[in-house]
Amino acid sequence: MRVFGIDCGTERTGYGVIDSDGRLHRMVCAGCITSSAREPLELRLFHIARELRGLMAEHRPDSAAIEEVFFAVNAKSALKLSHVRGVAMLVVAEAAVQFAEYSPLEVKKSVVGYGRAEKAQVQQMVASLLRLAAPIASEDASDALAIAICHATHAFMPVATAPLLRRSEARA
């Protein structure tokens, strides 16, 4: 399965693409889409959407995952982040790709095993899980890969196929 992870940001939107069977992961590519804080927000969103569309067309993922919005101290920053998330979700929907969202806690817990892990710990574990010689330099790209890894491991988890029977039903 090919998974496209997106770490949304108005100045730097990280992306990471992996191939995975749920246990073993291989990095296909990772990077950042950058935009200038001096540009109007609508032009930054347009640039992010155009770049994401190109990456989605080039890598043709089976699914995509984005980190859920977390509560920020600055409401204006949180609102701008929500705009970028909306653009990313639109691009994923346009590509007709399955979509999932994970909280920062879920991503860290899935990758590091601890939901309150620091950025450096996430970078180290992403490098380890992808068998890279060194951690990805960009925190945004590393976070996007972590989101993709989180989705890949969740997508392959066994799901209960039938509800548990009550004891009286089991005897019948």
Q: Catalytic residue at 68? A: no
Q: Catalytic residue at 19? A: no
The beta-carbon contacts of 41-49 under 8 Å, at least 24 apart in sequence, are 41/10, 41/80, 41/83, 44/10, 45/83, 45/84, 45/87, 48/13, 48/84, 48/87, 48/88, 49/87, 49/90, 49/91
Q: Which one is predicted more confidently, 30 or 160?
A: 30
For the stretch 120-162, pLDDT in tens is: 999 999 999 999 999 999 999 999 999 999 999 998 876 543 3
For the stretch 52-97, pLDDT in tens is: 999 999 999 999 999 987 666 678 888 888 999 999 999 999 999 9
Which one of 19, 67, 68, 94 is the catalytic residue? Answer: 67
Q: Catalytic residue at 67? A: yes
C-alpha to C-alpha distance for 23 and 17, rounded to whole angstroms:
15
Which one of 62, 140, 143, 169 is the catalytic residue? Answer: 140
Structural domains for the chain: 2-171 (3.30.420.10)
